[in-house]
Chain A
């Protein structure tokens, strides 16, 4: 992680730990090498995914020829070092540390939620601390309720893991240490939008100081069955465990040493379709509906296997298969691959977090893809990366990591992509002659004026990339849904091909990436429709409000395709008594015993492997390497680098709304989760309110893509500009019917209550 000694980093070294000869590379700490070689060194504050904290001093070791004890978590191993991890002096040192940790620690293990998986408990036992020999005057430390998480300072051992994850990982910097000697505590400096930090903090807390408020005192850790799975909400597919007892999910945990969950993953788990029994009449109606369907419309919140079933049904029955977001992404990636010659983008999250410069284009990253944002934050914190955020709207939530915000006009993404390509490929010698001509022919002055991106801003961007190594580009769904998406894709792809960028095209929703790879999608629906989690003439719904119930994603087995290009398995957390899509497929003549029988049938041509579901791994090894499912193999695609002229940019004047869910809301499923309480309000700045002649508290109705919204308007004083945020997570079965560009002009009608008085409208 550190750039120090970068010259020798990676050089092979040999060290001896407890008599065992260990081969490794320079740059790794003694602790890391020990763990690679299954040698145990006790730690209290060490957390693999952040930089060493060094607050506990439990990891002390002796190195031959060095006086005193060395902190193995911080000290890089040098070639030939002879290290002892345990002897009576070290044991005594560690025992004393544990004795100090135990001073005044409340003896409430009987009720503590952490009991049974508590580091303090384990180490207290390990180091034989059965009496308190030291003493300190205790203080009054009342329990604090921070919303999703409660903090009990009396239990806190001040390891600072929580502060580190909120700074280095989630990046909202919600938690801080309040220094004060023995009276030190953790404080929460961010009262809102802190789900992720708090959830992550509760996960990494080695004792019971930080515990999810909803989970607190409801169950002991050892009573819960851990069901490994992947989070289906945003397309990140983050590793998670559903912790289940008596057919109820009590909480969600994760392999917090190596992976991270956002608030939606951690708190949005109770969206199961419960109490469903088999209704043969509805089932037969569904089978009939499929037989007669002209189109099947579905939301991207489905597994790869279900997508495969729909694709097989399409092949047999010839209906149109429609999923708007996935289709937009599919077209974008198809255009993208004509330039790169590979069917997937080259980027991955690990490389992103190691980048020294990150450009984010066309995505409200903090809302759309938390896991990608976390990796950008890691780059920012560990590599001091330049983060250039390009979007029509500033986002105050990420201003602590963004080093340059470039605002462009709504609708001008194509021009911006062209400007970016022009700037970053200037002087690049790998660029082909025709491409060079194309780039030289661009009317930069005009583009810059139309996009409202100053040439000096681009120069500053270019300058800031000088002397940096490792560039990443993150693009998102503003581009996929853009009318000129394919042209934008090609321009972005140039940066992967010629400028060496690590590009991540963040999937727009749910399993859109998997769907786009598996299904042969059509642009629009026609005739009789069957909707799956979407309103259709016949509706299959996992939300429980359709004509036939379907299991939610935590009630079925299957795989998801993640932003990291990984196929990861999900397991059944809750029982489901009704019919599943595979039953319908069986009734329609496409036979498979279980849905997961389709796992090995996923298209190899798209990078999937013929691995059966039960053979998919789900673990991280001791060094933190991910062994979950498999990585999609990159497939070659014919190259055809033809770029069009940049089209005239359509002006979006006046009040504009941007389809964007609040942080930690992604779909009707997160909306159904009781712990994620977000009001579906339209948020705009005072400037927006003035432009649209709206007041705080007005209710308005408007239509986008034929879907009518009724929204309460609220002014958010932290926002600027004339764009308002319009959430869609509460739209239930209509949410996935939206197919147009994410920005739209706001044409609305005020529908305030009559008694408020007549408005001018």
Chain B
């Protein structure tokens, strides 16, 4: 979707429709007549009926519109940058982070700290990973630089906590292993483009 329609600020050329509103009465008689007409037209009951109908829908037909925050939350745009999440590989369940340290390097508020080690399987393992949310400015660079889409911004936008600077650990941010099937792919900055497949160049294999 282009941005052209938002850039067009020439109001007169847009398709506005003039509503057919009646004129406000100017004489006392006119006002009296309007009151009498509205009273006996039973418009009050129209309004009460709407309320009644919505109440019935909500209570008996399960069409409640009230969001019971904080128990319920509205979906948020994938581009919204809230508290980070650490994703897992869908195939193996192993966390995606390879410990490359790019997020730590790019972080402009220096809130990411990590330690890595050489593990028993001769792989680089993230032994410690913390984000100081008291410092984080949610710029999204970490998610954008991550080569593995391992660190992403999730939809959890409540950043209030008991302490001004509370630390978040790797485990807190990591998708729980039993909720792996609910893990959403990230569509925000740094995500794979929809046409990524077209851009892949294959390595030649002579054998």
Bound pair (A, B): yes
**Chain A positions near chain B (C-beta within 8 angstroms):** 110-111, 115, 131-137, 143, 213, 216-220, 222-223
Residue of A whose beta carbon sits closest to that of B119: A217
User: Which single member of A111, A132, A213, A223 contacts B104 (CB below 8 Å)?
Assistant: A223
Residue of A whose beta carbon sits closest to that of B205: A135
* Bound Cα distance A115, B102 (Å): 11
Taking a contact as CB atoms under 8 Å apart, the answer to whether A219 and B105 are in contact is no
Q: In whole Å, how far is A361's beta carbon from the nearest beta carbon of chain B?
A: 45
Q: In whole Å, how far is A460's beta carbon from the nearest beta carbon of chain B?
A: 52
Main SS at interface, chain A: loop
Residue of B whose beta carbon sits closest to that of A221: B101
Residue of A whose beta carbon sits closest to that of B101: A220
A217-B125 contact in complex given A111-B100, A223-B101, C-beta closer than 8 Å: yes
Taking a contact as CB atoms under 8 Å apart, the answer to whether B203 and A132 are in contact is yes
* Bound Cα distance A488, B94 (Å): 69
Taking a contact as CB atoms under 8 Å apart, the answer to whether B147 and A110 are in contact is yes
Q: In whole Å, how far is A219's beta carbon from the nearest beta carbon of chain B?
A: 7
* Bound Cα distance A132, B207 (Å): 15
Taking a contact as CB atoms under 8 Å apart, the answer to whether B206 and A135 are in contact is yes
Residue of B whose beta carbon sits closest to that of A113: B124
Taking a contact as CB atoms under 8 Å apart, the answer to whether B99 and A111 are in contact is yes
Report, nearest first, the 6 A-B pairs whose CB atoms are least far apart.
A110-B100, A217-B124, A111-B124, A217-B118, A216-B118, A220-B101
Q: Which A residues are in CB contact (< 8 Å) with B148?
A: 110
A220-B100 contact in complex given A110-B147, A137-B207, C-beta closer than 8 Å: yes
Q: Which B residues are in CB contact (< 8 Å) with A135?
A: 203-207
Residue of B whose beta carbon sits closest to that of A134: B204
* Bound Cα distance A110, B97 (Å): 10
**Residue B201 is within 8 A (CB to CB) of chain A in the complex:** yes
* Bound Cα distance A562, B205 (Å): 56
Chain B, interface residues (CB within 8 Å), range = 20 to 34
Q: In whole Å, how far is A127's beta carbon from the nearest beta carbon of chain B?
A: 17
A223-B105 contact in complex given A111-B99, A133-B204, A217-B117, C-beta closer than 8 Å: yes
User: Which single member of A115, A133, A143, A217 contacts B116 (CB below 8 Å)?
Assistant: A217
Taking a contact as CB atoms under 8 Å apart, the answer to whether A218 and B203 are in contact is no
**Residue B98 is within 8 A (CB to CB) of chain A in the complex:** yes
Taking a contact as CB atoms under 8 Å apart, the answer to whether A143 and B122 are in contact is yes
* Bound Cα distance A115, B105 (Å): 13
User: Which single member of A111, A137, A143, A223 contacts B98 (CB below 8 Å)?
Assistant: A111
| 1/0 contact string of B36-66 vs chain A (CB within 8 Å) | 0000000000000000000000000000000
Taking a contact as CB atoms under 8 Å apart, the answer to whether B101 and A218 are in contact is no
Residue of B whose beta carbon sits closest to that of A143: B122
Q: In whole Å, how far is A376's beta carbon from the nearest beta carbon of chain B?
A: 36
15 extra interchain contacts, Cβ-Cβ under 8 A, other than A135-B205, A217-B99, A219-B116?
A110-B147, A111-B98, A111-B100, A131-B201, A133-B204, A135-B203, A136-B206, A143-B122, A217-B116, A217-B118, A217-B125, A218-B118, A219-B101, A220-B101, A223-B101
Q: Which B residues are in CB contact (< 8 Å) with A213?
A: 118
User: Which single member of A115, A132, A133, A218 contacts B115 (CB below 8 Å)?
Assistant: A218
Q: In whole Å, how far is B17's beta carbon from the nearest beta carbon of chain A?
A: 55
* Bound Cα distance A222, B102 (Å): 10
| 1/0 contact string of B85-116 vs chain A (CB within 8 Å) | 00000000000001111101100000000011
Q: Which A residues are in CB contact (< 8 Å) with B100?
A: 110-111, 115, 220
Residue of B whose beta carbon sits closest to that of A103: B203
Q: Which of A132, A217, A218, A223 has the most CB of B within 10 A?
A: A217
Q: Which A residues are in CB contact (< 8 Å) with B102?
A: 110
Taking a contact as CB atoms under 8 Å apart, the answer to whether A132 and B204 are in contact is yes
Taking a contact as CB atoms under 8 Å apart, the answer to whether A222 and B124 are in contact is no
Residue of B whose beta carbon sits closest to that of A145: B122
Taking a contact as CB atoms under 8 Å apart, the answer to whether B98 and A110 are in contact is yes
Q: In whole Å, how far is A679's beta carbon from the nearest beta carbon of chain B?
A: 25
Q: Which of B101, B204, B205 has the most CB of A within 10 A?
A: B101
Taking a contact as CB atoms under 8 Å apart, the answer to whether A222 and B116 are in contact is no
Residue of B whose beta carbon sits closest to that of A110: B100
Q: Which B residues are in CB contact (< 8 Å) with A115?
A: 100
Taking a contact as CB atoms under 8 Å apart, the answer to whether A220 and B105 are in contact is yes
Q: Which B residues are in CB contact (< 8 Å) with A219?
A: 101, 116
Q: Which B residues are in CB contact (< 8 Å) with A216?
A: 118
Q: In whole Å, how far is A104's beta carbon from the nearest beta carbon of chain B?
A: 9
* Bound Cα distance A135, B202 (Å): 12
Q: Which B residues are in CB contact (< 8 Å) with A111?
A: 98-100, 123-124
